[in-house]
Amino acid sequence: MVEYVRIAFLVVGSIPLLVYPFVAIASLMGLGSQSTIDIPLFNRIMNLFFLWGTLTYPVVLLLCFWLSGKVQAHGVYVACFPLLFLFLLWVSFHFMDAP
C-alpha cells in the first residue's frame, strides 16, 4: 500500500513536466532580461527563486524518484518533496510581483 502512495505522489509530481519545455523557455528569457525599474529585494528574491526553481524542477523530481526507491523507510516522505517544491514555487510566483 505504501508503495502505491509513493508512486502516486511521484506521478502527480511529474504532471507539470508536460508543460516544462514552455516554462523553461520563459524562465530562461526571464533570467536573461534586464529590469529597468527599482524592485524591492523581497520581490527580486521571489522572482529569482521562481525562475531558478522552474528550471531545476526536473532535477528535483528525478532525485526524489531515485531517493524514494533507495530509502525504503522514508520513501513516501521523499516522494512528497516534489509536491512541496511545487507549492513553494506557487508561493514565490504569488509574491514575486507584489507591490
**Residue 89 and residue 71: Cα distance in Å, rounded?**
25
pLDDT in tens, the chain (99 residues): 888 998 999 999 999 999 999 999 999 999 998 878 888 888 889 999 999 999 999 999 999 999 988 887 888 899 999 999 999 999 999 888 755
Burial class (CB in 10 A: 0-12, 13-18, 19+), 12: middle
Name residues whose C-beta falls within 8 Å of residue 27's C-beta, 6 or more positions apart in sequence: 50, 51, 52, 54, 55
Q: What is the pLDDT of residue 56?
A: 95
pTM, to two decimals = 0.86
Of 32, 90, 33, give the one whose Cα is nearest residue 57: 90
Which grid cell is 81? 518533496
Q: What is the pLDDT of residue 98?
A: 58
